[in-house]
Amino acid sequence: MKTQHLLLSALFSISAIGFAGSVHAQGHQYFICNGTAQAGPCTGGSSGGGNGGNTRNGQPITYWNFTWGAIAYDKDLRIAGGSSGKGGKWSAKSAAKKDCKARGGKKCKVLQEYNSDNGCAGLSVGNSGRWATDFGNTQEEAGLASKNYCESDGKGACQVIYAGCSHLERDRVVY
């Protein structure tokens, strides 16, 4: 959850633009309304020229869609596969299993799914068969976080074997 808050904080500070959530057929969708956070879609119109209320105070509205990723792992063969940037959780999980099997895995199971809220996820494994997943703002951070979590039991070193990210994708801009 801390990653979710860090990601959203970073997006607020970098862009100085507010976000508001809404349900969308392809997943979550956010509305960017000229720096003002909304409790729903942007409403209102420009003060002249009448554009049918498609903008807020004459400014364009940008719509963003969530993307999903997943990590699959064959514990017996120690083979991982992953996916990112998928339109939904189930397609991300399916693609991760397929990738794991394409790399030689036989009993690939999804260990972790992640989305634009989580940002990035990593998987690390140790010699004794232990494994850990964790999140970060970048692939490097997610990999390091999963490695540190894996090694936190004091039973030896772990190695990052997968890290991936899913980010918001711009859907459209309405003027």
Whether residue 79 sits in one domain with residue 58: no
Domain count for the chain, please give it.
2
Domain that holds residue 116: 68-167
| Separation between Cα atoms, residue 160 and residue 132, nearest integer Å | 9
Q: Which of 19, 46, 65 is the last residue of a domain?
A: 65
Burial label for 13, CB within 10 Å (0-12, 13-18, 19+), is: exposed
Q: Are residues 136 and 59 in the same domain?
A: no
| Domain shared by 57 and 137, yes or no | no
- The type of residue at 13 is S
174 domain-assigned? no
pLDDT tens, residue by residue, 29-83: 445 555 544 445 555 443 333 444 455 677 888 888 889 999 999 999 999 999 9
Q: Enter the pTM of the model.
A: 0.67
Q: What is the 3-state secondary structure (H, E, C) of 127-159?
A: CCCCEEEEEECCHHHHHHHHHHHHHCCCCCCEE
Q: What is the pLDDT of residues 143-159, one digit of tens each?
A: 999 999 999 988 899 99
Is residue 172 in a domain?
no
